[in-house]
Chain A
Amino acid sequence: MLVLTLTTCIDPIAFEAEDESRKLVIFGTFTQLSQEHEVSIWRTGKFGSLGTWVQGATVQLMDDEGNNAQYIDAGEGTYLLPEGALCGEVGKAYQLIVTLPDQRRYESTWEIMPEPIEIEDTYFEINKRPIVSSINVLVDQFFVDVFIDTPLRTSGGNKAFLRWEMEETWSLMDFSCGPFDDAEICFYKVPNEFDQLILFSSVDDSQEKLEKYLVYSRLTAPYIEFNELHYFVVSQYSLSESTFDYWDKIRVVSNQTGSIFDKIPAGVPGNLSEVDGSSEVLGYFEVTSVVVDLTLSTRQDVIKKIQMPQACNYHFPIYLQPDYCCYCWTLPNMIPKPDYWGER
């Protein structure tokens, strides 16, 4: 271990292990929420790229009562099910049917929408932890850690199979640059670099409740990033056991570090297959119920109110200010005002 830690090195390598066959990838999530639902259809690219999208497919959603709804081709491999076209109901089964322009047809297995499990509490902490700097020095840094408390049983008493996703946004206000420009409020969405799959299964767990379970963590500069309003939005997906197993396998293959502790990886088969054919299809049609919880930061005690990047200085002449100081929506990762922001 000493040797391993002292002399182990990781470096890029040109590795020829390309699979020439461009496999079809279909991925979609259907929930009980009344909103647009999305299916993406791609073909795998060579290793390191995300491949090419598939246009012109027909995408259809069926339920076990014979109802169906058509997805709309929104371009770039994205197909959208309009809000209200088919509402998800807990306990009902759904199937996705995809027909490609070459008339090859793919179907998912029937997936039953599981019961949702409510989040009892969502909260965050600003914690200071040591990390290794670029010059190999131990430096204390601030992390924002988001935790949840949730029961591990559905209302029907079933065990929980959970997956979480996280969205973090804050607002900032730019300058009024001249008589014709009002100061505007923009909404910044933090790029999700915490892309680990956060999963939990209570199959082997006798606990009734999951407490202070870490679902999100990232390095933060609290005195800069935490404005007056700062939202953490946690989506808790209740999954079927098979869907959970799929994500668990995805987690294994996504977290390979090449070490001796890695589990042996493999291709992850999903729940879609070709009708009257045998070509391999990757991806998954996930039918899940989701609950969303959010927590709002107004922690004035730890947050110094800095609205704009440091390059913007109100006291400087306007012509010396970068454009984004006047037009905050030109900054990267700006999004329209999220619904949960309300009237704030």
Chain B
Amino acid sequence: MKKFLIYIALLSPAWAFAQDTIPEIEDKDFPFDLFIKELEDRFEVKIFYKGEWVASIEDLPPIRGSSLEEVLTFALEDTDLGYLKYSGSNYVIAPSKDLSEVLSLSYVLVKERFNTSEILTNVPMLYIGDSSLVGQSSDSHIRLKILDFKNEEPVAGAALYIETLGITEVSSSTGLIDVTVPSGVHLTEIRMVGYLPLIGNLSVFSDGTLDIYLDEEIIELEEVIITGEGAQKNILGPSAGMVTITPRQIKELPVFLGESDLIKAILILPGVSTLGEGTSGYYVRGGNIDQNLILQDGALFFNSSHALGFFSVFNPDLINRVTLYKGHIPAQYGGRLSSVLKIDLKGSVAENFILSGGIGTVMSKLALETPVLKGKSSLLLGGRMTYSDYILRMIKIPEIRESSASFYDFNFRYNHKVGQNGTAFLSYYQSGDEVQYERLFGFNWNINNVSLGWNQPLNEFLFSELTISAGKNRSESFDPSQAQSYLVQSGQKYVKAKQNIIATWDKHETIAGIEWTNFNPEEEILYGATGEEQQRITRNGGHEFGLYLNDDWEISDLLSVSAGLRWSAFLEKDSISSENAYFKNLEPRLSIRVKTSVTSSVKASYNRINQYLHLVTNTSSPLPTDQWLAASENLLPKQADNFSIGYYKNFEFNQWESSAELFFRKIRNLAEIRSFANLILNPAIEEDVVQGDGRTYGLELYLKKNSGRLKGTFSYTFSRALLFVALESDKEPEWISSAIDRPHNLNFNLDYTFSKKAKFALNFVYSSGRPITAPTSTYLLGKVVVPHYSERNQFHIPDYHRLDIAYTVKRNAIRRKRYQDSITFSIYNLYGRRNAFSVFFRKDKNSRASAYRLSILGSAFPSITYNFKF
């Protein structure tokens, strides 16, 4: 819209006292949706419309009148739109021709059958059952199957509301909702994050089923509707601590170097943290980075970071949905103690060619969706690449000019419809990173993953999901300095197969399945200065098995249970000895949800999980070149019992979500590296790892405003992460802080929409300083000044805090023009806080040791990014 004229008085508090006179003020950029939102707020109504209907409005003429009807009549005067009032306080704006169809035969039919005098309106009519059976039963059992309009895939987690009946239900992983309702007409809403809400008159004649298609294409409406994204899903979802994230949520955050990032998005959630800039991975509820199961299209990721943690390896432009399990972990997942991060790339069969991309300060990206066989198959391609080396070369500081840093990633996904309702995909991922500092030392690592999936309904109640994946991670660390020149290669390979059978029956959704993973570390090879092989070490791998059954049972409207049992086993594959270790365990999983009111619930969960792989690191923070070690007789699998209980409450028609959650985790056989252990080419590395108990516990508070001009989140986590280990063989075990023990974590995130074209975002982060092993005194050995260090993790570095802002200007945001673009200006670390990454000592000019802090980001970091889509 080129220009909108609105009554700015709508925004003024004076409006409340002088509604009879409305001064006319011009605001050229005020968008239609916000205009409607203000009408809704002031007149206390809901107004529904589709973005495509209003896209043709170029100018909104001056509007006069004191009642809502007068305002709407005036606003729509020169358009082909009209409006309709229904149910007292609801209005619909729609093409006039459609409005006349509202009072259609079907409407009349329903009205006659149910003899309802209620005025139904211009919303879709949804019919279930046989109209000839009306009156035979007062209640009907209905089954709704929620499907994606584009690819007809089931939509899990969609919420159904029938406000007049006080019914709220959530669709299962196969998209099913089973509910018993009185026969009749019920105004019904179905909502799901990332989809256009569906509001319709559900006309229930008798028992029956109905497929409901949600359209994710029209993104504008998400910002129009008052009720928020995923409304009540937080309350009704059976799993405690499960969070779903959409690409939009990822992109709305202030970004570092102008690049939106998945891991940055999950960091605003309570219980999720990092050690700061320049560190790999993320931590969930005090669990180390290796305790997070990361799956993209079913493929395993052992490393989630590019550029030592400044970016994640996941391309946000290609993501369809992200699900994070950090409390209750259903039985179909295993092998990691703390969390599951499930990333699904866009799986729909694209109808149109879509090209999008971006040019940023250090990175460019391109994504392409295109049909292959019309309506049958499509292709998704995406890539990102840095050109930081080019910038480094331009810098006059020699150490920097002599350094190099780069990464790239590439995604490919082929989607294909199989038969009537089945889908299959082939997904491939490749990435590479290289970091070298001033010819002194460096790393490179790359990831190759491929997965093949086939999702097929077997009948009305059974659904099959098959995923086969394989991957290879390889890393090299090198030191090209003259005398000690070397290069060490290492890596891991895996093959994984997983078969799920999902049964939806009565009020159950049952998942039974089997999973097998072959973990196979690559040989560790040392090459000398001239490239000759000097040493080779083979590490043990193994086979991990999982057999599981999980049932989500909606016992009643108030009570639902998710219960499961997983049998897990690990067979070590010893490269030298034939005496392979074998471990097997039973892992019960349970989550209970009690709905305490329409807008609140209590959830409690318990689960036991075993992890048969350990990531050991001997540096201050994990590196991508660190070693993954398989469980063996000398390195037992770790096991966790996770407990959590939480209270969830929504306010004001789900505009506000809140939660408070307590968690406790008890861990056995946690692996910690001994002091001074060497990881590289250490054939007896297990001897340098000590195992002990661990425990994490804490409280998470969360508040989120979902909609309106101002949106945002606030999260606070109190969390402790402790270990009970003896780091030296001659010492007794004792409780020490783990390297990620940061008791206080706070995240505050705001998003303010000035207009459809412009928005502002702000992000504030605070956390306690991370534990470090600090020098407490110094002494002299001959000519060498030696610092004496404390016990491990005895001290904390200064607290961390940071403020980021971003301002985004969009073009063609409302109208459905083919080409859309935006520019984002952002400043990371606005007030230039020098957050200490570490504290260390070095000699000053007088040869005395002094404490110094290393700040990875020592200043504010501005950036600009241009994104486009057509």
- Chain A positions within 8 Å of B, measured between CB atoms, are 1-15, 17-19, 22-23, 25, 27, 29, 40, 42, 44-51, 130-132, 136-138, 165, 192, 195, 197, 204-206, 212-214, 248-250, 252-254, 256-269, 282-284
How far, in whole Å, are A6 and B782 apart by their CA atoms in the complex? 37
Q: Which of B619, B728, B791 has the most CB of A within 10 A?
A: B619
Is the CB–CB distance between A15 and B851 below 8 Å? yes
Cβ distance B289 to chain A, nearest Cβ, rounded Å: 13
How far, in whole Å, are A262 and B841 apart by their CA atoms in the complex? 13
Residues of B within 8 A of A48 (CB): 778, 841, 848-851
Contact among B404, B784, B791 for A197, CB-based, below 8 A: B784
- Known contacts A132-B397, A260-B837, A282-B788; A13/B779 CB under 8 A: no
How far, in whole Å, are A116 and B859 apart by their CA atoms in the complex? 53
Is the CB–CB distance between B388 and A1 below 8 Å? yes
Is the CB–CB distance between A1 and B405 below 8 Å? yes
How far, in whole Å, are A266 and B690 apart by their CA atoms in the complex? 15
- Known contacts A3-B277, A45-B777, A264-B619; A258/B853 CB under 8 A: yes
Within 8 A of A (CB), among B616-632: 618-621, 623
Considering only CB atoms and an 8 Å cut-off, how many residues of chain B contact the other chain?
84
Is the CB–CB distance between A137 and B396 below 8 Å? yes
Residues of B within 8 A of A1 (CB): 307-308, 388, 403-405, 435, 437
Residues of A within 8 A of B619 (CB): 260-264
Closest to A269 in B: B728
Q: Does B17 contact A (CB under 8 A)?
A: no
How far, in whole Å, are A40 and B396 apart by their CA atoms in the complex? 47
Closest to A211 in B: B483
Is the CB–CB distance between A25 and B779 below 8 Å? yes
Q: Which of B673, B675, B727, B858 has the most CB of A within 10 A?
A: B675
List 27 A-B residue pairs with CB atoms under 8 Å apart, sorted by A's residue number: A1-B307, A1-B403, A1-B404, A5-B392, A9-B854, A9-B859, A10-B852, A11-B853, A17-B839, A44-B779, A47-B851, A50-B778, A50-B785, A132-B399, A137-B396, A206-B534, A253-B775, A257-B854, A258-B839, A260-B620, A262-B619, A262-B840, A263-B619, A264-B792, A265-B787, A266-B773, A266-B789
Contact among A5, A13, A136, A268 for B851, CB-based, below 8 A: A13
How far, in whole Å, are A45 and B776 apart by their CA atoms in the complex? 9
Residues of B within 8 A of A130 (CB): 398
How far, in whole Å, are A204 and B400 apart by their CA atoms in the complex? 33
Closest to A22 in B: B777
Contact with A along B637-651 (1 / 0, CB 8 A): 000000000000000
User: 6 extra interchain contacts, Cβ-Cβ under 8 A, other than A2-B362, A138-B401?
Assistant: A3-B856, A7-B857, A14-B851, A136-B397, A137-B396, A267-B791
How far, in whole Å, are A264 and B679 apart by their CA atoms in the complex? 12
Is the CB–CB distance between A214 and B483 below 8 Å? yes
- Chain B positions within 8 Å of A, measured between CB atoms, are 257, 277-279, 307-308, 310, 362, 386, 388, 391-392, 395-401, 403-405, 435, 437, 441, 482-483, 534-535, 618-621, 623, 673, 675-676, 681, 727-728, 773-792, 794-795, 798, 834, 836-842, 848-859, 861
Q: Is the interface of A mostly helix, strand, loop or mixed?
A: loop
- Known contacts A44-B788, A50-B785; A3/B853 CB under 8 A: no
Closest to A77 in B: B780
Is the CB–CB distance between B778 and A2 below 8 Å? no
Is the CB–CB distance between A6 and B676 below 8 Å? no
Is the CB–CB distance between B837 and A5 below 8 Å? no
Is the CB–CB distance between A13 and B777 below 8 Å? no
How far, in whole Å, are A246 and B437 apart by their CA atoms in the complex? 28
Cβ distance B443 to chain A, nearest Cβ, rounded Å: 9
How far, in whole Å, are A284 and B401 apart by their CA atoms in the complex? 42
How far, in whole Å, are A14 and B861 apart by their CA atoms in the complex? 26
Cβ distance B581 to chain A, nearest Cβ, rounded Å: 27
- Known contacts A258-B837, A267-B790; A13/B857 CB under 8 A: no
Is the CB–CB distance between A51 and B779 below 8 Å? yes
Is the CB–CB distance between B854 and A259 below 8 Å? yes
Is the CB–CB distance between B777 and A12 below 8 Å? no
Cβ distance A282 to chain B, nearest Cβ, rounded Å: 6
Closest to A38 in B: B782
Contact among B482, B618, B836, B859 for A7, CB-based, below 8 A: B859
Is the CB–CB distance between A262 and B861 below 8 Å? no
Is the CB–CB distance between B838 and A49 below 8 Å? no
Closest to A5 in B: B400
Residues of A within 8 A of B404 (CB): 1
Is the CB–CB distance between B399 and A8 below 8 Å? no
How far, in whole Å, are A12 and B499 apart by their CA atoms in the complex? 57
How far, in whole Å, are A110 and B727 apart by their CA atoms in the complex? 25
Cβ distance B797 to chain A, nearest Cβ, rounded Å: 8
Residues of B within 8 A of A284 (CB): 781
Is the CB–CB distance between A258 and B852 below 8 Å? yes
Is the CB–CB distance between A17 and B620 below 8 Å? no
How far, in whole Å, are A50 and B782 apart by their CA atoms in the complex? 12
Contact among B398, B857, B861 for A132, CB-based, below 8 A: B398
Is the CB–CB distance between A5 and B777 below 8 Å? no
How far, in whole Å, are A256 and B837 apart by their CA atoms in the complex? 13
How far, in whole Å, are A4 and B838 apart by their CA atoms in the complex? 14
Contact among A5, A9, A49, A250 for B786, CB-based, below 8 A: A250
Residues of A within 8 A of B859 (CB): 7, 9
Contact among A25, A44, A51, A204 for B535, CB-based, below 8 A: A204
Cβ distance B530 to chain A, nearest Cβ, rounded Å: 12
Cβ distance B798 to chain A, nearest Cβ, rounded Å: 8
Residues of A within 8 A of B681 (CB): 204
Is the CB–CB distance between A13 and B775 below 8 Å? no
Residues of B within 8 A of A248 (CB): 676
Cβ distance B538 to chain A, nearest Cβ, rounded Å: 16
How far, in whole Å, are A313 and B323 apart by their CA atoms in the complex? 80
How far, in whole Å, are A251 and B593 apart by their CA atoms in the complex? 56
Is the CB–CB distance between B391 and A2 below 8 Å? yes
Contact among A12, A132, A283 for B779, CB-based, below 8 A: A283
